[in-house]
Amino acid sequence: MVINLASKAFINAPEQFYDRARREHPVAPARIGPFKLMALWRFEDCQALLKHPGISRNRGTALGKAPTDLPFALPLPKRLKPLVKSMITEDDPNHRRLRNLVRGQFTPQAINTLRGALEHHAQRLLAETREGEPFEVQSALSLPLSTHAIATMLGVDDAVMPELKRALNTVSSGFSLWRIGALLFRDLPKSAAFLEGVIAAKRQHPGADLLSGLLMPTEGEAPLSDEEALAMTFLLLIAGFETTTHLVSNGTHALIHHPKALAALREDPNLWPEAIDEILRLYGPIHSTKPNFAAEPITLRGVTISRGTPIMPMLGCANRDPDAFEAPEEFRIHRPHRHHLAFGYGPHYCLGAHLAKLEAEVALRALFQRYPRLALSEAYGPPQRATLPGWSRYQALWVDAGAP
């Protein structure tokens, strides 16, 4: 069974493939359209691979050659190369250097200082919705809240953020060869020009924000080059927009379908952090990592993966593995262990995990407190999943706001 991770059948219902893949083909070839790779479907194997010393995040490095720009052999305009040379595709020691530059800004203590401002902004956004009228969760709540959070951290005014979001529309809307072309030759050049202007302004007039701190590192640290600053800023913006926006809408959909969990949260609001972790495990928006590459032959479950082969741990499947979680298909807030892989594992564990959890908690808590009888809008039909391999997310999520 060679699963096409970009097929409509898989995108629309990946859960229907997971059990068989885990049992019968735990380490097996898969593809994304024409691109071939090896997929891992079990929790134990995904976790082992993500900390394996014989993997690389860069295809060229894995083959003992110069680092490459993209995981697959696609042409990339020279102007855009800095955008894809982020710490996500770097190996140590440079990965560690770049990660250490921003680590302090993403600790639980640092992130929690944003709670009050995010709660205030969420209430303002929901005040613009009306009881008895449908609204779309992403555009009304999760996207502007995520925008506000990352704009605050980068010291960028909210007013200029829609310009960047429009430039990134191709990424948000799905996956096709036409969209890849539009992304590479139209949208991303606009994004690069926008970010270069932001970075230049920060170098001239730094403030008390994350971007200024990156551009003016502490004594003894090597400063970011212009290319590294562009790559890091782009990465932070993408992570801030995409992941949290869809975590909130996925969480909204999940809680509407789990009224007992909602009742438990109303009775004890201290359970919200546990609920967010369970949403991440069972309904998280990211179902696979970026491609990893075998820098040496790697054998898993009797299958030898040759050097240079792209490998994708399927996190969405691993998080439903019965060998790792009791009754994995059940939505349980009171799970004794919260060891899911929604944010990855090992050296590339997501730095923004605490920020994503905080934003999701603030947004969902405010939404269901204001509208305890929230329901999916019948007028707009069942929500459709966006065609983007490695993700599980909705194109839009329309809800009916019942009376508070």
The residue type at 185: F
- Residues 151-186 have pLDDT tens digits of 888 887 766 666 666 655 544 554 444 555 666 666
Whole-number pLDDT of residue 268: 96
- What total of structural domains would you count in the chain? 1
Q: What is the mean pLDDT of each run of 10 residues along the chain (404 residues)?
A: 90 93 96 93 97 92 76 57 71 86 84 93 96 92 89 76 58 50 68 84 86 76 79 76 89 97 96 97 94 95 96 97 96 89 94 93 97 94 88 94 68
- Residues 228-286 have pLDDT tens digits of 888 888 777 777 677 889 999 999 999 999 999 999 999 999 999 999 999 999 999 99
Residue 205 has φ and ψ, to the nearest 5°, of -135, 75
Q: Decide if 303 contacts 27 (C-beta within 8 A).
A: yes
Indicate the pairing of strand 310-313 with strand 35-40. Answer: parallel
Instruction: Supply the CATH number for residue 233's domain.
Output: 1.10.630.10
Domain that holds residue 342: 3-400
Model confidence pTM above 0.75 = yes
> Can you tell me whether residue 246 is helix, strand or coil?
helix
Whole-number pLDDT of residue 79: 60
Whole-number pLDDT of residue 170: 44
- Complete DSSP assignment for 154-185: HT--GGGHHHHHHHTHHHHH---HHHHHHIII
Token pair of 309 as six digits: 């082969």
Q: How far is 52 from 174, CA to CA, in rounded Å?
A: 31
What's the Cα-to-Cα distance from 202 to each of 103, 105, 195, 216, rounded to whole Å?
20, 17, 11, 10
- For residue 142, what is the DSSP state? I
